[in-house]
């Protein structure tokens, strides 16, 4: 294992089984529940793909899991060839499709080497959208067109765009992307399904590297959560509104977000690695973040970023890799609020 993937590295299949993924030397590792709700797991199985520097995972409404990688292949003349690769897993535990290269929009080798890490989103019609920073600090997009044919790379422009993009799809068929850019974040959105993404207003303060997460908190409306690099805790933002400070003590790394029902209330759950190195879980009423979050330290030592999902029985699940590389999973147990059971090794 060589870290954690970005995006959704813990997924729920149509058959009700959870699958966890992690990048590793020579490819990616995959653990799969043996039955819905666990507790047994199989794996890890190795899915081979060499020379990846970055792995992003995104799941569509059809439950297909898409893998996006940034690949650096050394050439005989000493140069390095950089491209983005894509593969799909259609069912839990089943083989992954052949990896397909989506290329690189830069024909010049020196600029091609500076092409950034991809992020993706799958629209409700199944169209895959891939985003990545280009060598000039702008944002590039490539998407799958009709009949499975990929459109050329499109330049969405922008300034000082950096790695750590967050792309997400809404239930009304649109895709948005939130991009760190120095002291701000740049935001693009589709005004309607299949449209070219348009630039929205810049958002300040900008996020700490790799910390942005997106969650649909109302039909067609995304809320973005990220860590303030100035040490001010969490921040959330919805398009058309102001950024709201939420406090907390997140460490570096990503925030995981999940919407669920607790005690009959629509709630948002946030998980991240705290400054002490353990997984912290916060809960608030959905779209009422300013009223406060209730935090719990799970005590689970975490290397990399935690993940959140529902299992096949509808329970909230928190997953993380401990410092020894063991995958550990904690599930909600009966009782008021969000109470998690003891994290179990997989």
* pLDDT above 90 coverage of the chain, percent: 91
Mean pLDDT of 328-345: 95
pLDDT at position 247 is 87
At 162 the three-state DSSP class reads coil
According to DSSP, the residues that pair with 285 across neighbouring strands are 267
Residue with tokens 């919407």: 259
pLDDT at position 232 is 72
Q: Is the pLDDT of residue 3 over 90?
A: no
Hey, which bits of 219-303 come out as E strands? 221-227, 234-238, 244-247, 256-262, 265-273, 278-285, 294-301
Tell me: the pLDDT tens digits for 76-128? 777 899 999 999 999 999 999 999 999 999 999 999 999 999 999 999 999 99
Query: For residue 7, what are its two tokens?
Result: 């995006």
Mean pLDDT of 154-183: 96
Helices (H), the chain: 109-112
What's the rounded Cα separation, in Å, for the pair 143 and 267?
Answer: 32
Q: Is the pLDDT of residue 303 over 90?
A: yes
Q: Is the pLDDT of residue 146 over 90?
A: no
pLDDT at position 84 is 98
pLDDT at position 233 is 92
Q: What is the mean pLDDT of the chain?
A: 95
According to DSSP, the residues that pair with 100 across neighbouring strands are 86
pLDDT at position 151 is 96
pLDDT at position 79 is 83
- Chain mean position to CA 154: 22
What's the rounded Cα separation, in Å, for the pair 159 and 136?
Answer: 8
At 111 the three-state DSSP class reads helix
* pLDDT above 70 coverage of the chain, percent: 100
Q: Is the pLDDT of residue 322 over 90?
A: yes
Q: Is the pLDDT of residue 259 over 80?
A: yes
Write down the domain spans for the chain: 6-204
Mean pLDDT of 62-81: 92
Q: Is the pLDDT of residue 2 over 80?
A: no
Q: Which residue has the higher pLDDT, 146 or 110?
A: 110
Q: Is the pLDDT of residue 317 over 80?
A: yes
What predicted TM-score, i.e. pTM, was given to this entire model? Answer: 0.96
């Amino acid at each position: 294992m060589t870290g954690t993937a970005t995006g959704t590295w813990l997924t729920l299949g149509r058959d009700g089984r959870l699958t966890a993924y992690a990048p590793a030397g020579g490819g990616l590792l995959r653990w799969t529940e043996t039955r819905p709700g666990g507790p047994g797991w199989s794996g890890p199985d190795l899915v081979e793909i060499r020379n990846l520097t970055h792995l992003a995972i995104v799941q569509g409404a059809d439950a297909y899991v898409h893998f996006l990688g940034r690949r650096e292949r050394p050439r005989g003349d000493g140069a390095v060839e950089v491209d983005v690769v894509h593969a799909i897993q259609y069912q839990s535990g089943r083989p992954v499709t052949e990896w397909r290269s989506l290329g690189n929009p830069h024909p010049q080798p020196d600029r091609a080497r500076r092409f950034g890490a991809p992020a993706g989103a799958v629209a409700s019609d199944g169209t895959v959208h891939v985003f990545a920073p280009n060598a000039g600090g702008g944002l590039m997009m490539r998407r799958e067109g009709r009949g499975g044919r990929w459109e050329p790379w499109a330049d969405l422009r922008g300034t000082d765009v950096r790695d750590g993009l967050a792309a997400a799809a809404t239930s009304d068929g649109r895709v948005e992307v939130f991009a760190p850019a120095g002291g701000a974040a740049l935001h693009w959105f589709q005004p309607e399904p299949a449209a070219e993404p348009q630039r929205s207003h810049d958002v300040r303060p900008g996020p700490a590297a790799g910390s942005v997460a997106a969650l649909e908190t109302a039909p067609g409306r995304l809320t973005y959560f990220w860590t303030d690099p100035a040490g001010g805790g969490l921040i959330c933002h919805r398009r058309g509104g102001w950024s709201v400070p939420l406090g907390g003590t997140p460490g570096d790394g990503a925030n995981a977000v999940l919407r669920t029902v607790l005690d009959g209330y629509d709630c948002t759950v946030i998980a991240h690695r705290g400054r002490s190195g353990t997984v912290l879980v916060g809960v608030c009423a959905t779209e009422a973040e300013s009223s406060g979050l209730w935090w719990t330290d799970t005590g689970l030592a975490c290397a990399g970023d935690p993940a959140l999902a529902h299992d096949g029985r509808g329970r909230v699940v928190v997953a993380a890799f401990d410092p020894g590389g063991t995958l550990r999973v904690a599930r909600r147990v009966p009782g008021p609020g969000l109470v998690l059971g003891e994290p179990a090794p997989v």
